[in-house]
Every structure is written in structure tokens, then in C-alpha cells.
Structure 1
Amino acid sequence: MKKYLLSALLISATLLSATAQQTQKPVLHGRNWMAITGKPLAATAGAMIFQKGGNAVDASCAMLAAACTMWDTLSWGGETQLLIYNPKTKQVIAINAMGVAPTGATAAFFKGKGYNFPPEYGPLAATTPGTPGGLIYILANYGTLSLEQVLAPAMEMAAGYPIEAQSANSIERGKTLIKQWPYSSKVFLTHPAEKREAPEAGEIFVQKDLLETLTKLVAAEKNALKQGKNRKEALMAAYDRFYKGDIAQEFVRGSKEQGGLITMEDLANWKPLEEKPLMVNYKGIDVYKMQQWTQGPVMLQALNILENFDLKSMGYNSPKYIHTLYQAMNLAFADRDFYYGDPYFNPSEPMKGLLSKAYAKQRAELIRDDRNDPNIGPGNPYPFEGKTNPYINLLKSRGFELDTSKRNFAPKHDMTNNSPKAEYQDRLWRGTTSVEAADKEGWVVSITPSGGWLPACIAGNTGIGMSQRMQSFMLDSAINPFNVVAPGKRPRVTLSPALALKDGRPYLSSAVQGGDTQDQNLLQFFLNMTEFGMNVQQSSEAANINTNQLWLSLGGSKTDDRKPKPGQLLLNSNTSEATRAELKKMGYILSFSDRTSGPINAVYFDWKHGSMWGGSSNHGEDYGIGW
């Protein structure tokens, strides 16, 4: 009886401390609109558009454009993926603005150059640009303002803005690579041959080529309007200038000069796609994610698995909760690593089976109470959609990935005293950003854009950094037969915004950067609110756990760089000694960091009071403004 009482008291104390925690940043409150993103200047750009009467789509475009102009987390040549709640139709839609592999990008091509995966950096890492087309598409179809209006803040920044320390220092750290690319050197190394060749923090950073490119887009829109074209036609004129006109010509020329593969046909044939998102219901809440060309369904699979457990009774970040969460994520990620890929290419991914509640229950039964399972692998979802698995023999032969040696969470050169170095964490967190926007009319936008991060290879005199997303393709079908590189194909990316509805109305919109950790962080963020009663800011700051028992999607062109690391568990440095000891007994190999929550940005919709609550991460430069 005493043991039971003590356990109950510990759980109660854990729940109380989780819901009563002090935050480092205040909750944002707004009645009319909310603008949140990874950079203060970009959030200000969103606020400027709202003040001009724009809706959440207009504001999200302005924030996206501004963030792309600031380089550290992404640039204009990258990719954009987003979810939109349309209050007119009361539906959630997904926009796929992921670039594709260019002509000549085959497994044989990269293997011939000695790669096990496409390279991390440079022109051969580039898919076709998706962000400009994605921005113009959503503005044309769901926004209200002109391209000139939403690009105005970004254009002013391209003409010269005080660069922040994070971007400036990233340039300095990456200057060895930058010097390999003449157009990048021209833009980024503002003090050539000096000890510090990158800009200094606060220095006015000017991007003449990018400003000229953006000016050309606006000019195309203006000329079309003068010719009597309507708003949408004028926006598409700007789109065509980027993907088929003189901007495209210079982009292709500059890419090819530096060894890239992208052709004019690749740009002209690419287009953003409007899709139906995937959804599962978790305890009365409809959770929406992008399709399986992203890792978004991982969160949905994990929620289905976790629905079979009483998480609240375990207590926030108790050993039992951490263990259960870790196992559920590993089961979902094992399926991601083998089954996810571009749905517009054959073979067809078994998503109906993967997202079925019955399949999740079967997977949940594999979780042991007492130990980590280092041999968790992909399941067999095909029977749950009435089919036979054509890859069953391939699954049985995948033992080469089950490396159970005690390897570090991060690569050896990135570790100090059993903790990841700051440089490793910097690379992990900064390669993406998030954009959250909502307005009083009911429009909600959640974006996870990325690509073209520093050190970026700029394509000719466009001022546009090329994507690095090719590295997320496989060259070996034994790892994933659905995600083998091919011309015109989209890589299975980590980028993964989230939207949730409750009682048919927006409940929660969220996104985060961080590669393979994105849906780990968003899953825990969601559970923090729904199971443990945290508010949106508490949940965005709360300590998370990270697993690396998965195939890494980014970083390293050799198989050993990407293999799963079974039992590797990253915990917050404040984790108690008792919890650490209990997890070690379960077979976990622990690493620690002060930063485990990810830079989460989110909006919670308070229908009781008719207001919005904004959460903006206490890590990095994430920033929000509400009104």
C-alpha cells in the first residue's frame, strides 16, 4: 500500500510540475492575427502584411520570403511544404512544393562517383527549387495581396539588412566550402583575404543579385497587370519567369558551370501540387500531416501506437513514459525508413495499412515493458489493406542495418564528455525553419520550409542558393525500395508541419526544424498539451527526448554515417539521476544536452475565449507577434 501511495504521489508531482512550469518566454496572445517564425525580422514582415490587411496566407508568404533572404536556415532555392486550413471550405489542404531530382540523377550516376548517398553539399545535392513556386501558388489561390506587396519586406532586406550573428558565424564556419563556389564567395565573403572573411554581426549585408531576381518577379507581375491580366494570371507570369524565363536560364547556366545537373526542362516541368493530407484521430482530435514523401506519417503512426497506453498515468518524462515513447517512435521510424517515398512514382506505398488502428495495435504489442528492443524493424502493413507484401524477402535480408554496438548518439568527432558538441547541435537545428500564421477570418497556415542553408552553393548571378535535399534519397533499394533516386522524383524528406482540428475547428498548428527529430518533437509537443495539460508556450519549451534508432535522413554520404544507433537516447541535462539509472537498466545508452525540445513554433486556438495563443521556442531566434 505504501509503495502504491508513493508511486501515485510521484506521478501527481510530475504532472503538477509539468503544468506549472515557468517559461523563459511569455505566451503570445492575439485576437486578430498571429505571426510566428524562426527570425525576428521575418516575424515582423508577417506583422507588416497583417497591418496592411492581408490574411494569414499573405503574411505567411511574407515571412517565408524574409526568412529565405536571411540564409542561415534556408534560402530561395530550397523547398516548401505546408498545411492550410481554409475556413471557407472547413478543410485542411496540403501544398507540396518539394523540388525533384534533375535529369541524370540516377543511382548509377552517384554510385559511379563513389557515393552511398547523394552528397550533402554543392550542385549535385540540389533538387529543383520549390519555394518560389510554392509561395506564388498559395498566394495566387488563397492569398489576397500582390506579389509586390508580400515581397516588399524581403526586397528591402536584400537591398541591405543588419545580419545577425547566427548567420554571420555560419558563413565564417563554412567558408572553406563556400570558396569552392565562385558565386557564393562573391555574396558571402564580404571581407576576402582578411582573418574573418564573413560579415560581422550587425553589418549591413547586401545581396544585389537576389534583389535583381526578386525585382524581375515583381516586374513580370506588373507587366501582366498592365496587359489586362487578372491577379492570378499576373502572379503566374512571375512564376513562369522564374521557371521558364531569364531567371531559369541563369539558374541553369550557373548550376551547370559548377557541375550541377538541373536543366531548363527540369524547371519547366516542375510544378507545386495540392494534395489531400493524411489524418488520424487521437482521442477525439483529428491530426493532419503531409503525405508520405515527408516523414509526417511517422507522427500519425506513433499516435496510433501510443493510443494503446495510458500515458497520463505514467507521468511526464517518467522512465516508463520515456521508454514507451521511445519504443513507439522506433516502431514508426522503422516503417518510415523502409516504406515512405514519393507517391507519384511506383511502387505504391502501403499507407492505408501503415495508418490503420489494427496495425498500430499489433505494433504496440511488440513493446517490452523492461528493455529497449535494438532489433525493431519495419512491420508488415500489407495484410491490413488486404494485400500481400511484395518485399517480405527483402525485409528478412536487412540484418546489415542492425548494428547494436555502443556507438555515440552523434558522430565520434562531434562528441565531448558523452555529450554532443555545440557545432553538432548547431548543424542539427539550423537547417530549416517554421512559419505559423493565423487570422480572425479563420485561415491557418503551418509551413516547414528548408533547403539552400549555409554553406550554400549559389546558382550563377541569381543570388539563389541551391537545395541540398538530394541527400535524402537512397541509392540502395535494400534500405528503402520506395525512395531510390530517379529523375523527376521527390526525395522522402524530414520536413513536416502539423495541423489539428477538434470538433471540426482548428485546435493546434505547429512546426519545428531539426531533421529526423522534427516529428519526435512535434509528437511530444502535442502530447504535452493533450495528455499533460501544458499551455502552448510551456509545451514548446518542455524537455523532449530524441532517438537515433533510425536511418539518418541527412548528413554523410557513407552507409556507416546513416545507420541506426540502437538504444541511443538523448535526454535533457536536467533529467534526474533516478530516471537516468532506470533507463540504463533498460539498456539505453544516454547522451545529454541542454537543448532537446527543438525550436517549436505553434498556435493554439482558444474557442472558449475567442482568442489565439502563440508559442515560440526559447531556443535560437524564433519569434512571434500577435494582435
Structure 2
Amino acid sequence: MESYGDRHLYFFNQNHILYEKLTMPSTSSFRFSPYLLILFCSILHSAQAQRTQKPPLHGKHWMAITGKPLAATAGAKLFNDGGNAVDAACAMLAATCTMWDVLSWGGETQALIYHPKLKKVIAINALGVAPTGATVDFFKKKGYAFPPEYGPLAAVTPGTPGGLCYMLAHYGTKSLASVLKPAIEMAAGYPIDAQTANSIERGKDRIKQWPYSKDVFLTHEGEEREAPEAGELFVQKDLLLTLQKMINAEETALRAGKSREEAIMAAYDRFYTGDIAEEFVRGSQEQGGLITKADLANWKPIEEEPLHVNYKGIDVYKLQEWTQGPALLQSLNMLKHFDLKTMGYNSASYIHTVYQTMNLAFADRDFYYGDPYFLPKTPIESLLSEDYARARAKEINPTQNNPLAAPGDPYAWQGKKNPFSALLTERAKLLDTAGSGIKDFVPKHDATPTVTVANPNTLSAADLSAVDSAYMDRLLRGTTSVEAADSAGWVVSITPSGGWLPACIAGRTGVGMSQRLQSFVLDSLISPFNVVAPGKRPRVTLTPSLALKDGKPFLSFAVQGGDTQDQNLLQFFLNVVEFGMTVQEASEAPNINSNQLWLSLGGTKIADRKPRPGSLLLDKRVTQEVVEKLKTMGYSIQFGERTSGPINAIFFDEKHKTLWGGSSNNGEDYGIGW
């Protein structure tokens, strides 16, 4: 029980979610009656009896959590065979790709690894790059506003096979054959889950455009339901052969006297330069794709230094600015200047402060983030500086939403002139102060027609619902996450993605191609750092997280959900650190989402991705009193049943030397601990 003010007593369950409010007289002479005392005790007992919808996971030796229960089992198998957290994470990654858990083998992998011997966090950049020919002129001549959402022209080079091999070779202990064994068994036939089977059925019209995809996915072609049924054994013969070829390459290298690491990289070479690469390129180009053999051969995963900030004694690590991860770090830097605990969990002032902070961080993300290996160079040091955060925090109006939240000027904190000041001025003129976002900036596009909202008042309720549904799909478009830890101190957090359904499969490889090219922009007015170019990585939403306390692992956490990822992860972290929730409570607790940002995925035109100032998603459990207060602050409010996102997390209990696992009630994600 917590008390706020003189007239109300608020009761929270274990999730810190308000479930009952008792109004009380304001007179100071008020005393409890016996009947009120009985009611009070009854309410308090009910609050304490509340439980999370999923039980927390506990383990002494290891923890494996990911997007599908079968894939978590794959991780458990590696742990039971004596593998470390990297081995288990790679097995889960391979399994989720094979199960098409909103990704496939042709997608991309982003990872943070805590190395217990080096006592440091290592970042793995296994994101593919734009292929030869993927230029602004190429796409604009085809009438695109962004690179397309689907098909071979949406593909960057595959990164997941290379990322998996690199992590396993350098930081794992097992052979590739051991790690891929569960995935190979699945490719030979696994009982497909309803979610994936139904996703295939929904996307079957698009799948029919691609001959290799049709052969794999439409197992009942010509029938009323052409996709597999839930529980049906789903067989992927081509993928099975591709994975077996990689294992064969490893075995051949081992027989030739190569080391474990060299043998794994021999499998890598077969994928990127051997017969697998040849068939991938042939199948891609046959269907109109741009990827060349040189694109595959020249691509390499990169081991990087992660970025981090300290929040109240906790070091939070994210990948570099080719992801949106630094937006969470910027947000934490700004939130240091507010007393969130005193505001109260999900109070109007708390929601407003977090929303405004995220808007400023995402405005910087939208304009300044991009591939750090290309020019212009992102001013990331200034974006993460304490002085810059303090100045940005002062921009927040404590009582009203700012619909014009814009990128800041980090160059000023380097003592330099902003080279993009003129561009920012031009960009600011496009903001619609009426609250509908960016206006008068509509490049042509040749994709599938969608509902245009020139005047929302002219649309029917059904049309508006369709527009909002499509928008929310783009905002929340998913991936999966992989979390693993062991008693030796290894920790892995991965947010892989790409090649999701409906996927275009490259030839007879069984490998679905990535759709990540759509995260580039074609106009520097949106972002001069993220304009498409051959060999360049798009700025992605994918964003694993690690946190250390006193130099030891404290939290490993990740989530799916497009542009909402670092929004949900920020609130998850605050739930644990500021409000004392367990990882399971924090992963289920109601979050908010802001739509006042440029979407990174989907849509057929600029209007589909533009910011929606003041648009706020709340959980239905937020009290009406808070809702009404937020409306007076300039918010347009939507509600959701579950708003935490499918967060997966591990907490390291230093007191008891055990592991806690948390997995949100918003999805199929779950884990196994021992």
C-alpha cells in the first residue's frame, strides 16, 4: 500500500499496477470504523495475492530464454551438453531462424556478450549491408519514397550465418555441428506452431509471387487453407541441405587438421563464398534482387566497442549508433535530472516525463544516427554527453506535450558549428503545428495503394481503423530476442531479425532474404546519416541490452517490436531500478509508447512513417484519473491490452548467487532455467 495525498489510498499488486482506489474523507478527525478496517484488510490481502501471469524463472547453473519454447529447449540442450551461454545462445538463434520466429537465416544479428575473464562487454555487429546498385537514384527512378518493404529489392546481405559462426568460433566452446543439431532436426520437420502457420496463411498472396517461397510455405497449395496447419510437421528440405553443407565444411576442415575455430569459419566461407553463396545470389537475382557474389564475399561481421552510460551506479551498455540503442542511453542521461520515484509509477507526471524524454532522444535518433563506418560521422560522443543531456532535459515543459520536439545541436558541445544547421531549419518548416506531423513532403512511391489521410474527417470509422492498424503494425513490427547466462559468468543478449514472413527465399538455399533495406532513407532531410549507399548498413531498431553493477552482470534484457523496442526497454529498466520490481513483474508491467517519431519500417510513402505528435499508447489498466490529466496536457490517447512488449530478461542475484528469468506475457516467448 502507498498513499498519495490526503483523500485517497491507492493499492498496488505485485506488479505495481493500480487495481483499487479507496476514497476517504479529508477531515483530519476521520477514524477507521471496524467495517472499513475489514474492507481495508480484504483489499490489501487481494493485492498481495496478485501474481504475475507467468511465473518467474529461477536457475543456479544457467538460463535460456527466447521467442519460442522449442527454441529455448535448443538452448537447454547445449547447456546440458556442457556448453556455455554463447553456445546456447547460438543454438537458440539457429532454432528461431529455422522456426521463422519473425526472422530467418537470411536476416541480421546484433549481440552483446559479457566476457567473464576479460570482465568486459563485447559488441557484435552482424548486420548486412546494402548491395551493389542500391543507390538513391536507383530507388527514386522506380518512384520509391523508401526502399521497398518486401521482396528481393528489400534485402541487405545476410548477416546471421556469419554472426553466429563468428560468435561461436571466438567465444563458444562447441562445434558448429553440435550447435546446429537442434535446428537441423527442426529443418527435417518440426510441429509448426499456430502463430507461424497462420502468418503464412495471411501472407500467402504475396508468397505466391516468389516461386521458391511458394514451394516451401504453401504445403497445401490449391486448397482453401494453403499454409501448414498448427501441429503439422513442417519440412524444409532446401534449408536442411544448406545447414548440412555448412556442417560438412566444418567436418572436412577438422579432418584436415584445422582447429575448432578455423573449422567453424570454413563453414562460414562456404556460405559466403562457396556453393551456398552461388545459389543464394542466383536465386536472388533471378527474382530481381541486387545482391552479387562480391557483396557476399566482401561482407564481414564486426566486433566493436559498445556504448554505455552510468545511471545511478549501473552501467548500461548498448550497440553503436547503427542501431537505435543509444536513444535509451540518451533517455537515461536526461532522466537523471528528474525524481521519478517521487512522481510515482505511471502517474501522469511520470508518463509525461518519460514520453517527453523519449521524444527528444528519438528526434536525435531520427536525424543523427547511422552507419559509423560511413561519412558523415555521427556526433555520438556529444549526443551521450552529460552536458548535452542536461540541456535537453531543460527543454521539457512539465505541463504540456511539445509537438515540435526536434533534433538538438550536439555539435555545440564539441565547440563546432553544426554542418546540418540549414537542413535542420528546412526540416523544422515541415512540422505541422496542428499536430498531424510532417506535411507537404510526399515523394512518389510505386508500392501497393494504401488509404491516404489527407483529411481524416472524410474517412469512415472503418477506414480510420484500417489506417491505425497498418500504422501500429509498422510501429510494432517484431523480431525475436535471445537471452542466455551461465554460472561461469558468460552472458549473451541478442536481438536478431530479418527475413520475416512473408519472406522471399533465395533459390534452393531455403534461406529467406532480409527486408532491412527499408530502414534506409532516400532524402537527407529525414536523416543525412542514414541515406542508402552500397556497402552501407541501415540504422536499425534492433537493440540488445546489458547492464553491469559494481563491474558484475546485473541485467540482460531485450525485446521485439520495431520502434518501440528502446521505449519498452527503458521502462523495463526503470521498473527494476526505480520501482524495485522483479524481472517478471517488470516484463509484464504496463508501459507507454510514443508515436511522435519517424517509423523505421514499412509504409509506402512519407505519410506512412511521419511522426504523430502527442499520440500516446496507454495500457487499459491506467486509471481514468491519470488518463484525464494526460488529455489536458495535449495527448491523443489509445489503449492496449498488454503494452510491455515481449521482453525477455535475466537478473543476476548477487545476494543468493542465482539467476532470475523474466519473459513478458505479451507473446510466445519463454525460457528454461536450471
Same fold (TM over 0.5): yes
Q: State the partner residue of 2:440.
A: none
Asked whether the equivalents of residues 337 and 393 of structure 2 are also in contact (C-alpha less than 8 Å), the reply is yes
SS at match of 2:54: coil
Q: State the partner residue of 1:472.
A: 519
Q: State the partner residue of 1:536.
A: 583
Counterpart pick for 2:115 among 62, 86, 90? 86
Query: Within 5 Å, which residues of 2 pair with 1:559-598?
Result: 559-598=606-645
SS at match of 1:183: helix
Report the Cα distance in structure 1 between the residues aligned to 2:529 and 2:367, rounded to whole angstroms: 7
**Deviating 4+ runs (over 4 angstroms):** 7-21, 404-408, 410-430
Report the Cα distance in structure 1 between the residues aligned to 2:258 and 2:301, rounded to whole angstroms: 22
Asked whether the equivalents of residues 35 and 47 of structure 1 are also in contact (C-alpha less than 8 Å), the reply is yes
Asked whether the equivalents of residues 62 and 485 of structure 2 are also in contact (C-alpha less than 8 Å), the reply is yes
Q: State the partner residue of 1:256.
A: 285
State the Cα distance separating 1:425 from its structure 2 match. Answer: 5.8
Report the Cα distance in structure 1 between the residues aligned to 2:222 and 2:178, rounded to whole angstroms: 39
Query: Within 5 Å, which residues of 2 pair with 1:263-342?
Result: 263-342=292-371
Q: State the partner residue of 1:491.
A: 538
Q: Give deviations 1:447-491, integer Å, cap 9, x for gaps.
A: 000000000000000000000000000100111000000000000
Q: Indicate the RMSD between aligned Cα atoms, in angstroms.
A: 2.2
SS at match of 1:6: coil
State the Cα distance separating 1:431 from its structure 2 match. Answer: 2.9
Q: State the partner residue of 1:106.
A: 135
State the Cα distance separating 1:393 from its structure 2 match. Answer: 1.1
Q: State the partner residue of 1:349.
A: 378
Q: Give deviations 1:402-423, integer Å, cap 9, x for gaps.
A: 2345559x98799869878778
| Alpha carbons of structure 1 residues 367 and 442: separation in structure 2 relative to 1, 3 Å | same
Larger deviation, residues 37-46 vs 394-403 = 394-403
- Name structure 1 gaps, 5 residues minimum: none
Asked whether the equivalents of residues 435 and 601 of structure 1 are also in contact (C-alpha less than 8 Å), the reply is yes
Report the Cα distance in structure 1 between the residues aligned to 2:404 and 2:83, rounded to whole angstroms: 52
Q: State the partner residue of 1:68.
A: 97
Counterpart pick for 1:239 among 255, 268, 282? 268
| Alpha carbons of structure 1 residues 481 and 448: separation in structure 2 relative to 1, 3 Å | same
State the Cα distance separating 1:595 from its structure 2 match. Answer: 2.2
Counterpart pick for 2:484 among 433, 437, 451? 437
Query: Within 5 Å, which residues of 2 pair with 1:359-374?
Result: 359-374=388-403
| Alpha carbons of structure 1 residues 12 and 61: separation in structure 2 relative to 1, 3 Å | closer
SS at match of 2:6: helix
Matched, 1:398 2:427: yes
User: TM-score under structure 1 normalisation?
Assistant: 0.96
Q: State the partner residue of 2:30.
A: none
Q: State the partner residue of 1:124.
A: 153
Q: State the partner residue of 1:224.
A: 253
Give the AA of the match of 2:487. K
Counterpart pick for 2:181 among 138, 152, 159? 152
Query: Within 5 Å, which residues of 2 pair with 1:126-205?
Result: 126-205=155-234
Q: State the partner residue of 2:6.
A: 6
Q: State the partner residue of 2:240.
A: 211
| Alpha carbons of structure 1 residues 14 and 125: separation in structure 2 relative to 1, 3 Å | same
Give the AA of the match of 1:32. H
Report the Cα distance in structure 2 between the residues aligned to 1:103 and 1:611, rounded to whole angstroms: 49
State the Cα distance separating 1:596 from its structure 2 match. Answer: 1.1
Q: State the partner residue of 2:653.
A: 606
Q: State the partner residue of 2:24.
A: none
Report the Cα distance in structure 2 between the residues aligned to 1:260 and 1:166, rounded to whole angstroms: 29
Matched, 1:388 2:435: no
State the Cα distance separating 1:15 from its structure 2 match. Answer: 9.2
Counterpart pick for 1:377 among 400, 406, 423? 406
Q: Give deviations 1:68-106, integer Å, cap 9, x for gaps.
A: 001141000000000000000000010000000000000
State the Cα distance separating 1:369 from its structure 2 match. Answer: 1.2
| Alpha carbons of structure 1 residues 418 and 25: separation in structure 2 relative to 1, 3 Å | farther
| Alpha carbons of structure 1 residues 461 and 417: separation in structure 2 relative to 1, 3 Å | closer
State the Cα distance separating 1:399 from its structure 2 match. Answer: 2.7
Give the AA of the match of 1:139. L
Asked whether the equivalents of residues 76 and 131 of structure 1 are also in contact (C-alpha less than 8 Å), the reply is yes
SS at match of 2:97: helix
Report the Cα distance in structure 2 between the residues aligned to 1:484 and 1:16, rounded to whole angstroms: 43
- How many residues are aligned here? 624
Matched, 1:621 2:668: yes
State the Cα distance separating 1:383 from its structure 2 match. Answer: 1.9
Give the AA of the match of 1:187. V
Report the Cα distance in structure 1 between the residues aligned to 2:666 and 2:471, rounded to whole angstroms: 15
Give the AA of the match of 2:6. L
Asked whether the equivalents of residues 169 and 198 of structure 1 are also in contact (C-alpha less than 8 Å), the reply is yes
Report the Cα distance in structure 2 between the residues aligned to 1:237 and 1:414, rounded to whole angstroms: 58
Higher-Rg member (1/2): 2
State the Cα distance separating 1:226 from its structure 2 match. Answer: 0.6
Q: Give deviations 1:117-136, integer Å, cap 9, x for gaps.
A: 00000000000000000000
Report the Cα distance in structure 2 between the residues aligned to 1:284 and 1:552, rounded to whole angstroms: 33
Give the AA of the match of 2:666. H
Asked whether the equivalents of residues 17 and 621 of structure 2 are also in contact (C-alpha less than 8 Å), the reply is no
Q: Give deviations 1:383-404, integer Å, cap 9, x for gaps.
A: 2123221111111110354234
User: TM-score under structure 2 normalisation?
Assistant: 0.90
